[in-house]
Amino acid sequence: MSIWDAIILGIVQGLTEFLPISSSAHLRIVGEFLPAAQDPGATFTAITQIGTEIAVLLYFWRDITGILGAWFRALGKNRDTLDVATRQQAKLGWWIIIGTLPIVVVGYTAQELIRDTFRSLWLVASVLIIFGIVLYIADRLGRQERTLDTLSGGHGLSYGLAQTLALIPGVSRSGATIAMGRSLGYTRSEAMRFSFLLAIPAVLGSGFYELRTAIVDPVAAGPLNATATAVATLVAFLVGYAVIAWLMRYIRTGSFLPFVIYRVALGAVLLGLLSAGVIQA
């Protein structure tokens, strides 16, 4: 992978990580049209997502520090004296932990599927369309009444189960978790906010796990250019931060319909290219 390829893939990662259109699918597809004409791989994808997740840490810094502070205070001796707002933030911390457990288990036990089977472009194209329709139905029919103050452990686990689907390129982590949130009745902005917060431990954990794999077991990780990967991660961080800022403003008045249309169209085009033999699965 050249530095220019890395810059292109970093831009793609930053643009698509937070939109409900699947960044891993876009990296998989764009890789086929770069000079090397190959899949960037699960390891490269996971490491570059560290960059976009650092953007989340910076953008939601007040939320994150508030949740962490409340969670630790709730473990202390004076937890009975905490006010209602602090208790709610502490609970949100627990729900993030509960919601992270499913993807940790599945991600660790399904490595062969993640690195091989799930990266078939036939599967990517299919789930782009299918989960685009799922997102549309959930957003269309979901009520707009719940806030994160009413989030429960059961809902946190439901979010987490939806997040495990993101291990399949094309599903979209944000798309799956937002669709779950909307189907549970959370407002668009609240569903998106928890989607971003829930992704932090899972994405950072996956990214650093793959980074470790690339260092200690490069054969398992596959071919990886360290410099190009670092460049792509930095570019993904810069672009990703700008996309978060735009998306959080857009969703106050906009809907997910444009993303649904894009997903279905991209999936259909990809199926056409595969059927015509222009690209290989």
| For range 121-135, the mean pLDDT | 93
Residue extents of the structural domains in the chain: 3-275
pTM of the model: 0.87
Which of 239-252 are b and which e, b meaning 16 or more Cβ less than 10 Å from the residue's Cβ? bbbebbeebbeebe
Q: Cα-atom radius of gyration of the chain, to the nearest Å?
A: 19
Q: What is the pLDDT of residue 33?
A: 87
Measuring CA to CA, which residue among 174, 175, 178, 184 is closest to residue 151? 184
For residue 266, give every residue at least 6 positions away whose Cβ sits within 8 Å of its Cβ, in sequence order, or none: 21, 29, 128
Does 2 have pLDDT greater than 90?
Answer: no
Name the DSSP letter for residue 146: B
Which residue bears the tokens 């932990």?
97
Name the DSSP letter for residue 186: B
209-249: per-residue pLDDT in tens? 888 888 887 766 666 788 989 999 999 999 999 999 999 99
